[in-house]
Amino acid sequence: MTVIDVVATALWVVGAVFFFAGTVGLLRFPDVYTRLHALTKPDNVGLGFIVSGLAIQSSELAVALKVIAVWVLLLVVNAVSCQVIARATWNRGIRPWSRR
């Protein structure tokens, strides 16, 4: 295993940890809005780590750029989707959880 392989593996493991943390948040947080946070942010960061691991490991520049482009695109899509879901839920009258 070369140095690059080790670094890539470390990046992937960190990415997987973020994904796992996101799912834990999805299952444990108390209401829709907090779950939205839990899902959108760690998942995208996790994907970023996985993508960087893939990018440094790839043999061609085109491939690295392509996976990074997919990540950036998914960032944009997820950010707007998160806002849209939140707004739709707010319009439906559901209000955030507060500690009683």
Partner 1 sequence: MTALDLVFDVVLATVMPVLVWRILASKDLASSVVLFVALGLVSALAWARLHAPDIALVEAAVGAGLTGALLMNALSWIGAEAGVTEPVSRATRVGVGILVTAVGVGLAVAVIHLTQPVGLAHEVDARLADAHVDYPVTAVLLSFRGYDTLLEIAVLVTAALGARLYAPGSVPGGDDPLSPHPRVLARVLTPIVVLVAGYLLWRGASAPGGAFQAAAVLAGGGILLVLARVLRPPRMSSIAVRAALVAGLAWFIAVAALPLATGAQLLEYPSASAKQLIISIEVALTLSISIVLLMFFPGEPAPGEAARHPEDRW
Partner 2 sequence: MHEVRMGITVVLLISVVAGLARITRGPTLADRMLVAQLFCTTAVAVLLLLAADPGAEALRDVALVFTLLAPTVVITFARYRAPTGAGP
Which residues of the chain form contacts with partner 1 (CB under 8 A)? 73, 76-77, 80, 83-84, 87-88, 91
- Residue 13's binding partner among partner 2, partner 1, none (Cβ under 5 to 8 angstroms by kind) is partner 2
- Output 10 or 73, the one with its CB closest to partner 1: 73
How many angstroms separate the CA atoms of 18 and 90, rounded?
A: 27
Contacted entry of partner 1, partner 2, none for residue 36, CB cut-off 5 to 8 Å set by kind: partner 2
What type of residue is 34? T
Long-range contacts of the stretch 60-66 (C-beta < 8 A, 24+): none
Q: Closer to partner 1 at the Cβ: 69 or 100?
A: 69
80 burial (CB, 10 Å; 0-12 / 13-18 / 19+) is: exposed
Nearby residues of 21 by Cβ (< 8 Å), 6 or more positions away: 42, 46
15 binds, among partner 2, partner 1, none (CB under 5 to 8 A by kind): partner 2
Q: In whole angstroms, how close is the CB of 60 to partner 2 at the nearest point?
A: 10
